[in-house]
Amino acid sequence: MSFGPHPWQQTSWDWRAAGNFMAGGAGAGLLVASALLAPPAAAQPWAPNWLVLTGLGLVGLGLLCVWLEIGRPRRALHVFFNPQTSWMSREAFVALLLFPVGLLVLLGVHGWSGLSAVLALAFLYCQSRMLPAARGIPAWRPTLLTPLMLVTGLCEGCALLLLLDALLSHAANATMAVLALLLLARFVIWSLYRNAVDASLAAPARSALNRAGLGLLLVGTLTPLLLLGLSTWLSGTPQAVLSALAGVAAALAGAYFKYTLITRASFNQGFALTQLPVRGVRANL
């Protein structure tokens, strides 16, 4: 059913909107994680630049997905018209600042990595406020979704940092510890969010979120925590391989959760008709 008193799935946001949250959130999280946890530029002058380049590339990919979703792409600049009310407009303005600052970091200009991290965190925060602003979608409107999306982006960014570090045949213990804490925080917030939203969900949305939650538990939490725990007993290439697998599992589970939330669990609440009109009967208003 596409219209009526029963919930139906929204069709305005599809995989392209999900791509913005998946790629943009992970890229912003990577920029934050690389600024805080990456080795100093003096020790590895090229690795942090690759991290920043990857993060900016993912953010750009997410914004490209948004542009592809627009019905009239030539009017894309209209996204800047409502920063006073729209979190999407605020996200666009933050991105407008993030890319030139990120370019300065790529060029090796000192003193800009901190600002790039702040802007990336602001970008991620704007993203996390978009879905709760859609009050008509029960799975999106809980306030707990904001910290869940924020922590998920940071978790994905830290997972990608660990993966890219592992490709260099080393894994930073600090990154592994932070990722473990973020994994636990993500699942705790997910559990609170899931309990809070359950009563208002349509049956298909509940089923979709249950599958996403199972993925977060098994693939996105238990598996990477086990791999990270095993890697602490190893060193060299074996440790790098296990930490890379942990990063892949954590990032994929977060991306699947976002995709499910946008494209599978996005049923609205339908119409609430407390009084139906009957021919020949005067309504009591």
Which residue is it, tokens 């802007």? 119
| 49 in any annotated domain | yes
| 78 in any annotated domain | yes
Could you tell me which of 230, 225, 232 has the C-alpha nearest to residue 246? Answer: 225
Task: Name the percent of the chain lying above pLDDT 70.
Answer: 85
Rounded mean pLDDT of the chain? Answer: 86
**pLDDT tens track for 119-159:** 999 999 999 999 998 888 999 999 999 999 999 999 999 99
What is the span of the domain harbouring residue 238? 15-263
| 277 in any annotated domain | no
Instruction: Provide the number of structural domains found in the chain.
Output: 1
pLDDT at 181: 97
**What values do phi and psi take at 226, rounded to 5?**
-65, -45
Burial class (CB in 10 A: 0-12, 13-18, 19+), 73: exposed
| 276 in any annotated domain | no
| 281 in any annotated domain | no
Structure confidence at residue 269 as a pLDDT band (50, 70, 90): confident
User: Does residue 46 carry a pLDDT above 60?
Assistant: no
In this structure, how many other beta carbons lie within 10 angstroms of the beta carbon of residue 195? 10
What is the residue type of 175?
T
| 40 in any annotated domain | yes
Structure confidence at residue 48 as a pLDDT band (50, 70, 90): low
Q: How many residues does the chain have?
A: 285
Q: How many CA atoms lie within 13 A of 240 on its CB side?
A: 9
| 275 in any annotated domain | no
What b/e readout covers 40-58, taking b as 16+ CB neighbours within 10 angstroms? eeeebeebbbbbbebbbeb
Supply the CATH number for residue 244's domain: 1.20.1630.10
Could you tell me the maximum CA-CA distance found in the chain, to the nearest angstrom? 83
| 62 in any annotated domain | yes
102, 123 contact by CB (below 8 A): no
